Chain A
Amino acid sequence: MNFWQRMQQMDRRWVYLMVGISVIFPFILPITLPVSITPEAQMLYDHIEALPDSSTVMLVFDYYPSTIAECEPMTIAAARHFFEKDCRVITLSNIPLGGPTMAEQVTRTVAEQYGKEYGVDYVNLGYKANYVAVLSGMGQSIESIFPTDNSGTPLDELPLMDSVVNYEQIDFIFEVADNATADYWVSIVNAGYGVPIGCGTTAVSAPKYYAFVDAGQFVGLLGGMKGAAEYEQLIEQEGDAMVGMGAQSLVHLLIIALVIVGNLGFFVGGIGRRKGAK
Protein backbone atom coordinates (compact mmCIF):
# COMPACT_ATOMS: atom_id res chain seq x y z
CA MET A 1 0.00 0.00 0.00
CA ASN A 2 1.59 3.29 -1.13
CA PHE A 3 1.30 6.71 0.57
CA TRP A 4 -1.73 7.85 -1.44
CA GLN A 5 -3.60 4.67 -0.79
CA ARG A 6 -2.92 5.02 2.93
CA MET A 7 -4.14 8.60 2.76
CA GLN A 8 -7.38 7.40 1.17
CA GLN A 9 -7.99 5.22 4.20
CA MET A 10 -7.08 7.82 6.80
CA ASP A 11 -9.18 7.53 9.95
CA ARG A 12 -11.80 10.27 9.97
CA ARG A 13 -10.85 11.15 13.55
CA TRP A 14 -7.65 12.71 12.20
CA VAL A 15 -9.83 14.98 10.06
CA TYR A 16 -11.92 15.88 13.12
CA LEU A 17 -8.74 16.65 15.07
CA MET A 18 -7.46 18.94 12.30
CA VAL A 19 -10.80 20.78 12.15
CA GLY A 20 -10.82 21.15 15.94
CA ILE A 21 -7.31 22.60 16.00
CA SER A 22 -8.12 24.94 13.07
CA VAL A 23 -11.15 26.30 14.94
CA ILE A 24 -9.50 26.66 18.36
CA PHE A 25 -6.10 28.01 17.29
CA PRO A 26 -7.27 31.46 16.02
CA PHE A 27 -9.15 32.05 19.29
CA ILE A 28 -5.94 31.43 21.29
CA LEU A 29 -3.78 33.46 18.91
CA PRO A 30 -6.22 35.83 17.16
CA ILE A 31 -5.60 36.42 13.47
CA THR A 32 -7.33 39.66 12.48
CA LEU A 33 -7.38 40.15 8.75
CA PRO A 34 -9.06 42.92 6.75
CA VAL A 35 -12.04 41.71 4.75
CA SER A 36 -12.94 43.12 1.37
CA ILE A 37 -16.40 44.66 1.14
CA THR A 38 -18.80 43.08 -1.33
CA PRO A 39 -21.13 45.43 -3.28
CA GLU A 40 -24.17 43.88 -1.54
CA ALA A 41 -22.87 44.75 1.95
CA GLN A 42 -21.86 48.23 0.80
CA MET A 43 -25.37 48.81 -0.61
CA LEU A 44 -26.92 47.83 2.70
CA TYR A 45 -24.61 50.10 4.65
CA ASP A 46 -25.21 53.02 2.26
CA HIS A 47 -28.97 52.63 2.53
CA ILE A 48 -28.94 52.66 6.34
CA GLU A 49 -26.44 55.50 6.36
CA ALA A 50 -28.76 57.52 4.11
CA LEU A 51 -31.78 57.10 6.43
CA PRO A 52 -32.74 60.37 8.09
CA ASP A 53 -31.78 60.55 11.76
CA SER A 54 -34.53 59.40 14.14
CA SER A 55 -36.07 57.14 11.50
CA THR A 56 -38.19 54.26 12.73
CA VAL A 57 -36.75 50.90 11.76
CA MET A 58 -37.53 47.25 12.38
CA LEU A 59 -34.80 44.78 13.32
CA VAL A 60 -36.09 41.24 12.86
CA PHE A 61 -34.52 38.28 14.66
CA ASP A 62 -35.68 35.39 12.45
CA TYR A 63 -32.91 32.97 13.34
CA TYR A 64 -32.54 30.03 15.68
CA PRO A 65 -29.86 29.83 18.38
CA SER A 66 -28.08 27.23 16.24
CA THR A 67 -26.93 29.94 13.81
CA ILE A 68 -26.12 32.50 16.48
CA ALA A 69 -22.43 32.57 15.44
CA GLU A 70 -23.32 33.81 11.96
CA CYS A 71 -26.43 35.86 12.61
CA GLU A 72 -25.92 37.55 15.96
CA PRO A 73 -22.90 39.63 14.86
CA MET A 74 -25.16 41.02 12.09
CA THR A 75 -27.91 42.05 14.51
CA ILE A 76 -25.37 43.55 16.92
CA ALA A 77 -23.67 45.54 14.15
CA ALA A 78 -27.02 46.71 12.75
CA ALA A 79 -28.30 47.70 16.21
CA ARG A 80 -25.11 49.73 16.76
CA HIS A 81 -25.52 51.45 13.41
CA PHE A 82 -29.20 52.22 14.09
CA PHE A 83 -28.57 53.61 17.58
CA GLU A 84 -25.61 55.61 16.34
CA LYS A 85 -28.01 57.30 13.92
CA ASP A 86 -30.58 57.81 16.70
CA CYS A 87 -33.04 55.55 14.91
CA ARG A 88 -36.00 54.23 16.86
CA VAL A 89 -35.76 50.44 16.76
CA ILE A 90 -38.64 47.96 16.88
CA THR A 91 -37.56 44.34 17.23
CA LEU A 92 -39.64 41.23 16.68
CA SER A 93 -39.20 37.56 15.82
CA ASN A 94 -41.05 34.90 13.90
CA ILE A 95 -39.01 32.18 15.61
CA PRO A 96 -40.61 30.65 18.71
CA LEU A 97 -37.41 29.05 19.93
CA GLY A 98 -35.46 31.88 21.48
CA GLY A 99 -36.10 34.62 18.90
CA PRO A 100 -37.58 37.16 21.36
CA THR A 101 -34.96 36.34 23.99
CA MET A 102 -32.12 36.94 21.54
CA ALA A 103 -33.78 40.19 20.44
CA GLU A 104 -34.10 41.27 24.07
CA GLN A 105 -30.51 40.40 24.88
CA VAL A 106 -28.93 42.04 21.82
CA THR A 107 -30.92 45.26 21.85
CA ARG A 108 -30.71 45.74 25.60
CA THR A 109 -26.93 45.27 25.59
CA VAL A 110 -26.33 47.61 22.63
CA ALA A 111 -28.90 50.14 23.85
CA GLU A 112 -27.10 50.42 27.19
CA GLN A 113 -23.89 51.29 25.35
CA TYR A 114 -25.68 54.14 23.56
CA GLY A 115 -27.75 55.27 26.54
CA LYS A 116 -31.06 54.39 24.91
CA GLU A 117 -34.24 53.95 26.86
CA TYR A 118 -36.70 51.07 26.49
CA GLY A 119 -40.13 52.14 25.23
CA VAL A 120 -38.80 55.46 23.94
CA ASP A 121 -35.89 54.48 21.70
CA TYR A 122 -36.54 50.78 21.24
CA VAL A 123 -39.29 48.23 21.75
CA ASN A 124 -39.27 44.43 21.62
CA LEU A 125 -42.58 43.14 20.25
CA GLY A 126 -41.61 39.51 20.83
CA TYR A 127 -43.05 36.56 18.95
CA LYS A 128 -46.43 35.73 17.44
CA ALA A 129 -47.21 32.46 15.71
CA ASN A 130 -47.82 32.12 11.98
CA TYR A 131 -45.50 34.53 10.24
CA VAL A 132 -47.60 34.92 7.08
CA ALA A 133 -50.50 36.22 9.16
CA VAL A 134 -48.17 38.35 11.29
CA LEU A 135 -46.42 40.02 8.35
CA SER A 136 -49.57 40.75 6.42
CA GLY A 137 -51.53 41.74 9.54
CA MET A 138 -48.96 44.37 10.54
CA GLY A 139 -49.65 46.08 7.21
CA GLN A 140 -52.94 47.26 8.64
CA SER A 141 -52.24 47.44 12.35
CA ILE A 142 -49.22 46.38 14.36
CA GLU A 143 -51.22 46.66 17.57
CA SER A 144 -53.87 44.20 16.37
CA ILE A 145 -51.13 41.56 15.93
CA PHE A 146 -48.99 42.56 18.92
CA PRO A 147 -51.34 44.06 21.53
CA THR A 148 -48.46 43.95 24.04
CA ASP A 149 -44.68 43.92 23.88
CA ASN A 150 -42.54 40.91 24.78
CA SER A 151 -42.91 41.51 28.52
CA GLY A 152 -46.66 42.07 28.39
CA THR A 153 -46.77 45.89 28.45
CA PRO A 154 -49.64 47.21 26.28
CA LEU A 155 -48.29 49.01 23.21
CA ASP A 156 -50.22 52.21 24.01
CA GLU A 157 -48.12 52.55 27.19
CA LEU A 158 -44.92 52.68 25.11
CA PRO A 159 -44.17 56.20 23.77
CA LEU A 160 -42.34 54.86 20.69
CA MET A 161 -45.45 53.05 19.52
CA ASP A 162 -47.66 56.17 19.80
CA SER A 163 -46.71 57.26 16.32
CA VAL A 164 -46.40 53.79 14.78
CA VAL A 165 -49.58 52.23 13.41
CA ASN A 166 -48.44 50.01 10.54
CA TYR A 167 -45.72 49.76 7.87
CA GLU A 168 -46.42 53.32 6.67
CA GLN A 169 -44.46 54.61 9.66
CA ILE A 170 -41.57 52.15 9.18
CA ASP A 171 -38.66 53.56 7.17
CA PHE A 172 -36.57 50.44 6.90
CA ILE A 173 -36.58 46.76 7.90
CA PHE A 174 -33.47 44.71 8.52
CA GLU A 175 -34.34 41.05 8.41
CA VAL A 176 -31.76 38.62 9.82
CA ALA A 177 -32.85 35.07 9.05
CA ASP A 178 -31.52 31.55 8.77
CA ASN A 179 -34.67 30.22 7.09
CA ALA A 180 -37.29 31.01 4.47
CA THR A 181 -39.03 33.80 6.42
CA ALA A 182 -36.91 36.29 4.45
CA ASP A 183 -38.87 35.27 1.32
CA TYR A 184 -42.12 36.32 2.99
CA TRP A 185 -40.74 39.68 4.03
CA VAL A 186 -40.09 40.25 0.32
CA SER A 187 -43.36 38.90 -1.04
CA ILE A 188 -45.65 40.36 1.63
CA VAL A 189 -43.98 43.45 3.07
CA ASN A 190 -41.75 44.77 0.29
CA ALA A 191 -44.03 43.86 -2.62
CA GLY A 192 -47.26 44.68 -0.77
CA TYR A 193 -46.30 47.78 1.18
CA GLY A 194 -43.12 49.03 -0.49
CA VAL A 195 -41.03 49.08 2.70
CA PRO A 196 -37.29 48.87 1.90
CA ILE A 197 -35.75 45.71 3.36
CA GLY A 198 -32.17 44.67 3.94
CA CYS A 199 -31.27 41.05 4.60
CA GLY A 200 -28.67 39.25 6.63
CA THR A 201 -28.55 35.49 6.32
CA THR A 202 -26.38 32.43 6.77
CA ALA A 203 -23.69 31.69 4.18
CA VAL A 204 -25.59 28.64 3.01
CA SER A 205 -28.78 30.66 2.36
CA ALA A 206 -27.14 33.74 0.85
CA PRO A 207 -26.84 32.54 -2.78
CA LYS A 208 -30.64 32.41 -3.00
CA TYR A 209 -31.04 36.08 -2.09
CA TYR A 210 -28.77 37.57 -4.77
CA ALA A 211 -31.85 37.47 -7.04
CA PHE A 212 -33.81 39.64 -4.59
CA VAL A 213 -30.97 42.15 -4.37
CA ASP A 214 -30.73 42.34 -8.15
CA ALA A 215 -34.50 42.91 -8.38
CA GLY A 216 -34.28 45.74 -5.82
CA GLN A 217 -36.46 43.84 -3.35
CA PHE A 218 -33.57 43.78 -0.88
CA VAL A 219 -31.51 46.95 -0.64
CA GLY A 220 -28.48 44.89 0.35
CA LEU A 221 -27.34 41.53 1.64
CA LEU A 222 -24.98 40.17 4.28
CA GLY A 223 -24.01 36.55 3.70
CA GLY A 224 -22.76 34.53 6.65
CA MET A 225 -20.04 35.45 9.09
CA LYS A 226 -18.08 37.09 6.27
CA GLY A 227 -21.04 39.41 5.60
CA ALA A 228 -21.23 40.25 9.30
CA ALA A 229 -17.47 40.95 9.34
CA GLU A 230 -17.89 43.24 6.32
CA TYR A 231 -20.58 45.20 8.15
CA GLU A 232 -18.47 45.42 11.32
CA GLN A 233 -15.68 46.84 9.18
CA LEU A 234 -18.06 49.31 7.52
CA ILE A 235 -19.30 50.68 10.85
CA GLU A 236 -15.71 50.58 12.15
CA GLN A 237 -16.57 48.48 15.18
CA GLU A 238 -14.80 45.18 15.38
CA GLY A 239 -16.96 42.40 16.81
CA ASP A 240 -17.30 38.63 17.00
CA ALA A 241 -17.49 38.20 13.22
CA MET A 242 -14.07 39.76 12.63
CA VAL A 243 -12.62 37.51 15.34
CA GLY A 244 -14.40 34.48 13.89
CA MET A 245 -12.99 35.12 10.42
CA GLY A 246 -9.64 33.69 11.55
CA ALA A 247 -11.19 30.34 12.46
CA GLN A 248 -13.34 30.30 9.35
CA SER A 249 -10.32 31.08 7.15
CA LEU A 250 -8.32 28.17 8.55
CA VAL A 251 -11.21 25.72 8.32
CA HIS A 252 -11.98 26.72 4.72
CA LEU A 253 -8.31 26.32 3.79
CA LEU A 254 -8.19 22.97 5.58
CA ILE A 255 -11.26 21.70 3.70
CA ILE A 256 -9.76 22.86 0.39
CA ALA A 257 -6.47 21.13 1.24
CA LEU A 258 -8.35 17.94 2.19
CA VAL A 259 -10.30 18.02 -1.10
CA ILE A 260 -7.04 18.43 -3.06
CA VAL A 261 -5.29 15.64 -1.12
CA GLY A 262 -8.38 13.43 -1.45
CA ASN A 263 -8.46 13.92 -5.22
CA LEU A 264 -4.71 13.40 -5.59
CA GLY A 265 -5.08 10.18 -3.63
CA PHE A 266 -8.04 9.19 -5.77
CA PHE A 267 -6.12 9.60 -9.03
CA VAL A 268 -2.56 8.71 -8.02
CA GLY A 269 -3.64 5.92 -5.67
CA GLY A 270 -6.07 4.65 -8.29
CA ILE A 271 -3.31 4.53 -10.92
CA GLY A 272 -1.09 2.75 -8.38
CA ARG A 273 -3.80 0.17 -7.76
CA ARG A 274 -4.26 -0.45 -11.48
CA LYS A 275 -0.48 -0.88 -11.94
CA GLY A 276 -0.43 -3.28 -8.99
CA ALA A 277 -3.24 -5.32 -10.57
CA LYS A 278 -1.19 -5.78 -13.74
Chain B
Amino acid sequence: MKTTVPIIVAFLAGVALVLAFFFDQRTLIGSLSQELRVWLSIVGGFTLLLGVVSITRVNYAAVKQRKEGWFFKLITLVSIFVMAVPALLPSSWSSLFGRQEGSIYDWLFLYMDAPMMATMFATLAFYIASAAYRAFRARSPESTLLLVTATVIMLWRVPMGEWFLDQLPGDIPFFLNTYIMNGINMAVQRGIIIGAALGAASMSLRIILGIERTYMGKG
Protein backbone atom coordinates (compact mmCIF):
# COMPACT_ATOMS: atom_id res chain seq x y z
CA MET B 1 0.00 0.00 0.00
CA LYS B 2 2.83 2.40 0.97
CA THR B 3 4.42 1.87 -2.44
CA THR B 4 1.42 1.29 -4.69
CA VAL B 5 -0.53 4.45 -3.84
CA PRO B 6 2.41 6.88 -4.46
CA ILE B 7 3.20 5.09 -7.73
CA ILE B 8 -0.42 5.41 -8.90
CA VAL B 9 -0.54 9.10 -7.87
CA ALA B 10 2.79 9.80 -9.63
CA PHE B 11 1.62 7.95 -12.76
CA LEU B 12 -1.76 9.70 -13.00
CA ALA B 13 -0.38 13.16 -12.23
CA GLY B 14 2.55 12.70 -14.60
CA VAL B 15 0.42 11.43 -17.47
CA ALA B 16 -2.16 14.21 -16.98
CA LEU B 17 0.51 16.91 -17.10
CA VAL B 18 2.22 15.39 -20.14
CA LEU B 19 -1.10 15.00 -22.00
CA ALA B 20 -2.10 18.57 -21.14
CA PHE B 21 0.61 19.84 -23.51
CA PHE B 22 -1.41 18.40 -26.40
CA PHE B 23 -4.85 19.65 -25.32
CA ASP B 24 -6.49 23.04 -25.20
CA GLN B 25 -6.57 24.60 -21.72
CA ARG B 26 -10.38 24.73 -21.84
CA THR B 27 -10.74 20.96 -22.10
CA LEU B 28 -11.19 18.67 -19.12
CA ILE B 29 -7.56 17.57 -19.20
CA GLY B 30 -6.44 21.19 -19.51
CA SER B 31 -8.35 22.32 -16.45
CA LEU B 32 -7.30 19.18 -14.56
CA SER B 33 -3.64 19.94 -15.24
CA GLN B 34 -4.16 23.52 -13.99
CA GLU B 35 -5.71 22.16 -10.81
CA LEU B 36 -2.76 19.82 -10.36
CA ARG B 37 -0.36 22.73 -10.70
CA VAL B 38 -2.18 24.57 -7.90
CA TRP B 39 -1.94 21.41 -5.77
CA LEU B 40 1.74 21.17 -6.64
CA SER B 41 2.29 24.69 -5.38
CA ILE B 42 0.41 23.90 -2.14
CA VAL B 43 2.41 20.70 -1.63
CA GLY B 44 5.56 22.78 -2.25
CA GLY B 45 4.46 25.06 0.62
CA PHE B 46 4.15 22.06 2.93
CA THR B 47 7.68 20.94 2.04
CA LEU B 48 8.91 24.29 3.39
CA LEU B 49 7.01 23.59 6.61
CA LEU B 50 8.57 20.13 6.71
CA GLY B 51 11.99 21.79 6.44
CA VAL B 52 11.24 24.03 9.42
CA VAL B 53 9.98 21.08 11.51
CA SER B 54 13.03 19.01 10.58
CA ILE B 55 15.59 21.73 11.35
CA THR B 56 13.83 22.45 14.67
CA ARG B 57 13.83 18.79 15.72
CA VAL B 58 17.48 18.20 14.84
CA ASN B 59 18.74 21.38 16.49
CA TYR B 60 16.50 21.11 19.54
CA ALA B 61 17.80 17.59 20.23
CA ALA B 62 21.41 18.81 19.90
CA VAL B 63 20.80 21.73 22.29
CA LYS B 64 19.01 19.54 24.82
CA GLN B 65 21.87 17.02 24.86
CA ARG B 66 24.51 19.82 24.93
CA LYS B 67 26.27 18.34 21.90
CA GLU B 68 29.35 20.01 20.44
CA GLY B 69 28.43 23.41 18.96
CA TRP B 70 25.07 23.43 20.78
CA PHE B 71 25.26 27.18 21.28
CA PHE B 72 25.30 27.81 17.50
CA LYS B 73 22.35 25.46 17.10
CA LEU B 74 20.51 27.45 19.75
CA ILE B 75 21.20 30.63 17.75
CA THR B 76 19.81 28.86 14.66
CA LEU B 77 16.61 27.97 16.53
CA VAL B 78 16.16 31.45 17.97
CA SER B 79 16.83 33.03 14.55
CA ILE B 80 14.20 30.86 12.83
CA PHE B 81 11.46 31.77 15.26
CA VAL B 82 12.39 35.43 15.74
CA MET B 83 12.23 35.85 11.96
CA ALA B 84 9.22 33.63 11.24
CA VAL B 85 6.75 34.29 14.07
CA PRO B 86 6.33 38.10 13.65
CA ALA B 87 6.12 37.59 9.87
CA LEU B 88 3.23 35.12 10.27
CA LEU B 89 1.21 37.29 12.68
CA PRO B 90 -1.33 39.55 10.96
CA SER B 91 -0.19 43.12 10.30
CA SER B 92 -3.61 44.35 11.48
CA TRP B 93 -2.49 43.55 15.06
CA SER B 94 0.61 45.72 14.85
CA SER B 95 2.69 47.42 12.17
CA LEU B 96 5.64 45.36 13.49
CA PHE B 97 3.97 42.12 12.37
CA GLY B 98 3.61 40.83 8.82
CA ARG B 99 6.20 41.39 6.12
CA GLN B 100 5.54 44.96 5.04
CA GLU B 101 7.99 47.84 5.20
CA GLY B 102 8.88 48.67 8.82
CA SER B 103 7.95 45.24 10.20
CA ILE B 104 10.30 43.13 12.36
CA TYR B 105 10.74 40.67 9.49
CA ASP B 106 11.58 43.46 7.06
CA TRP B 107 14.11 45.00 9.46
CA LEU B 108 15.78 41.65 10.20
CA PHE B 109 15.91 40.77 6.50
CA LEU B 110 17.36 44.09 5.35
CA TYR B 111 19.86 44.66 8.13
CA MET B 112 20.85 41.15 9.19
CA ASP B 113 19.88 38.39 6.79
CA ALA B 114 20.80 40.03 3.46
CA PRO B 115 24.14 41.52 4.64
CA MET B 116 25.14 38.22 6.30
CA MET B 117 24.36 36.18 3.18
CA ALA B 118 26.15 38.70 0.95
CA THR B 119 29.16 38.62 3.31
CA MET B 120 29.31 34.83 3.22
CA PHE B 121 29.23 34.89 -0.58
CA ALA B 122 31.78 37.72 -0.74
CA THR B 123 34.33 35.77 1.31
CA LEU B 124 34.62 33.52 -1.76
CA ALA B 125 36.70 36.26 -3.40
CA PHE B 126 39.38 35.80 -0.73
CA TYR B 127 39.46 32.04 -1.13
CA ILE B 128 39.41 32.22 -4.93
CA ALA B 129 42.37 34.63 -4.92
CA SER B 130 44.32 32.43 -2.52
CA ALA B 131 43.43 29.23 -4.41
CA ALA B 132 44.31 30.81 -7.78
CA TYR B 133 47.70 31.80 -6.40
CA ARG B 134 48.47 28.36 -5.03
CA ALA B 135 46.80 25.94 -7.40
CA PHE B 136 46.28 27.53 -10.83
CA ARG B 137 49.46 26.23 -12.50
CA ALA B 138 50.39 25.63 -16.11
CA ARG B 139 51.34 22.02 -15.44
CA SER B 140 50.09 20.60 -18.74
CA PRO B 141 49.01 21.90 -22.19
CA GLU B 142 45.33 21.61 -21.13
CA SER B 143 45.79 23.53 -17.90
CA THR B 144 47.87 26.16 -19.75
CA LEU B 145 45.04 26.62 -22.25
CA LEU B 146 42.53 26.99 -19.42
CA LEU B 147 44.79 29.38 -17.55
CA VAL B 148 45.39 31.64 -20.56
CA THR B 149 41.68 31.65 -21.54
CA ALA B 150 40.53 32.37 -17.99
CA THR B 151 43.06 35.18 -17.64
CA VAL B 152 42.06 37.01 -20.82
CA ILE B 153 38.33 36.54 -20.09
CA MET B 154 38.87 37.98 -16.59
CA LEU B 155 40.70 40.92 -18.13
CA TRP B 156 37.91 41.45 -20.69
CA ARG B 157 35.17 41.43 -18.04
CA VAL B 158 36.45 44.54 -16.22
CA PRO B 159 36.95 48.09 -17.56
CA MET B 160 40.65 48.31 -16.59
CA GLY B 161 41.38 45.01 -18.32
CA GLU B 162 39.35 46.06 -21.35
CA TRP B 163 41.41 49.21 -21.61
CA PHE B 164 44.58 47.10 -21.51
CA LEU B 165 43.29 44.72 -24.20
CA ASP B 166 42.31 47.68 -26.38
CA GLN B 167 45.96 48.82 -26.38
CA LEU B 168 47.02 45.54 -27.98
CA PRO B 169 46.85 45.04 -31.75
CA GLY B 170 43.66 43.45 -33.12
CA ASP B 171 40.14 43.60 -31.73
CA ILE B 172 40.67 41.18 -28.83
CA PRO B 173 37.33 41.92 -27.03
CA PHE B 174 35.45 41.13 -30.26
CA PHE B 175 37.44 37.91 -30.66
CA LEU B 176 36.72 36.87 -27.08
CA ASN B 177 32.98 37.51 -27.38
CA THR B 178 32.61 35.94 -30.81
CA TYR B 179 34.92 32.96 -30.68
CA ILE B 180 35.30 32.14 -26.99
CA MET B 181 31.93 33.05 -25.41
CA ASN B 182 29.69 32.59 -28.47
CA GLY B 183 31.85 29.87 -30.01
CA ILE B 184 33.67 27.33 -27.88
CA ASN B 185 31.82 28.15 -24.66
CA MET B 186 28.40 28.00 -26.31
CA ALA B 187 29.10 24.67 -28.04
CA VAL B 188 30.17 23.10 -24.74
CA GLN B 189 27.24 24.58 -22.83
CA ARG B 190 24.79 23.28 -25.44
CA GLY B 191 26.19 19.80 -25.03
CA ILE B 192 25.77 20.03 -21.25
CA ILE B 193 22.24 21.48 -21.49
CA ILE B 194 21.07 18.84 -23.98
CA GLY B 195 22.66 16.06 -21.90
CA ALA B 196 21.04 17.31 -18.70
CA ALA B 197 17.64 17.68 -20.41
CA LEU B 198 17.79 14.11 -21.75
CA GLY B 199 18.75 12.90 -18.29
CA ALA B 200 15.87 14.80 -16.68
CA ALA B 201 13.40 13.47 -19.28
CA SER B 202 14.48 9.87 -18.77
CA MET B 203 14.39 10.25 -14.97
CA SER B 204 10.87 11.74 -15.19
CA LEU B 205 9.75 8.85 -17.37
CA ARG B 206 11.19 6.37 -14.89
CA ILE B 207 9.27 8.04 -12.03
CA ILE B 208 6.00 8.19 -14.00
CA LEU B 209 6.31 4.51 -14.95
CA GLY B 210 7.18 3.50 -11.38
CA ILE B 211 10.66 2.21 -12.23
CA GLU B 212 12.44 4.86 -10.16
CA ARG B 213 11.36 4.57 -6.53
CA THR B 214 14.18 6.24 -4.62
CA TYR B 215 11.97 9.28 -3.94
CA MET B 216 9.97 6.99 -1.64
CA GLY B 217 13.12 5.90 0.17
CA LYS B 218 13.26 2.62 -1.76
CA GLY B 219 16.00 1.38 -4.08
Q: Interface on A for B, CB 8 Å cutoff?
A: 10, 12, 15-16, 18-20, 23, 33-36, 38-39, 64-69, 96-98, 100-102, 104-105, 108, 128-130, 132-134, 136-137, 139-141, 144-145, 150-151, 183, 192, 203, 207-208, 210-211, 214, 223-224, 226, 245, 248-256, 258-259, 261-263, 266
B202 within 8 A of A: no
Tell me whether A262 and B133 are in contact (CB under 8 A): yes
A-B contact pairs, 15 of them (CB 8 A): A16-B126, A66-B117, A66-B121, A69-B118, A129-B45, A144-B38, A145-B37, A208-B189, A226-B157, A226-B158, A252-B158, A253-B158, A254-B129, A255-B129, A258-B133
Known pairs A141-B34, A208-B192, A255-B132. 20 more at Cβ < 8 A? A33-B159, A35-B159, A36-B173, A66-B117, A68-B118, A100-B99, A104-B100, A133-B37, A133-B41, A137-B37, A144-B34, A183-B193, A211-B193, A252-B157, A254-B129, A256-B151, A258-B132, A259-B133, A263-B147, A266-B137
Summarize A's interface: helix, strand, loop or mixed: helix
Q: Which of A19, A96, A211, A245 contacts B159 (CB 8 A)?
A: A245
Chain B 58-86 per-residue mask, 1 if CB under 8 angstroms from chain A, else 0? 00000000000000000000000000000
Shortest beta-carbon distance, A242 to chain B, in Å? 9
Q: Interface on B for A, CB 8 Å cutoff?
A: 21, 25, 30, 34, 36-38, 40-45, 47-48, 91, 98-101, 105-106, 109-110, 113-114, 117-118, 120-122, 125-126, 128-130, 132-134, 136-138, 147, 151, 154-155, 157-163, 173, 177, 181-182, 185-186, 189-190, 192-193
B158: A residues at CB distance < 8 A: 226, 245, 248-249, 252-253
Q: How far is the CA of A63 from the CA of B179 in the complex (A)?
A: 29
Given the contacts A69-B118, A207-B181, A262 and B125 also touching, CB distance less than 8 Å:
no
Summarize B's interface: helix, strand, loop or mixed: helix
Given the contacts A210-B182, A211-B186, A130 and B155 also touching, CB distance less than 8 Å:
no
Given the contacts A15-B129, A39-B177, A252 and B161 also touching, CB distance less than 8 Å:
yes
Tell me whether A259 and B120 are in contact (CB under 8 A): no
Q: Which of A16, A67, A134, A226 contacts B41 (CB 8 A)?
A: A134
The closest CB in chain B to the CB of A98 belongs to B109
The closest CB in chain A to the CB of B166 belongs to A36
B185: A residues at CB distance < 8 A: 207, 210
Tell me whether A16 and B34 are in contact (CB under 8 A): no
Tell me whether A105 and B110 are in contact (CB under 8 A): yes
Tell me whether B154 and A64 are in contact (CB under 8 A): no
Among B118, B133, B159, the most chain A Cβ lie within 10 Å of the Cβ of B133
Tell me whether A249 and B129 are in contact (CB under 8 A): no
Shortest beta-carbon distance, B8 to chain A, in Å? 20
The closest CB in chain A to the CB of B181 belongs to A210
Q: How far is the CA of A226 from the CA of B98 in the complex (A)?
A: 36
Tell me whether B101 and A104 are in contact (CB under 8 A): yes
Shortest beta-carbon distance, B16 to chain A, in Å? 12
Q: Which of B47, B100, B129 contacts A129 (CB 8 A)?
A: B47
B44: A residues at CB distance < 8 A: 128-130, 133
Tell me whether B48 and A96 are in contact (CB under 8 A): yes
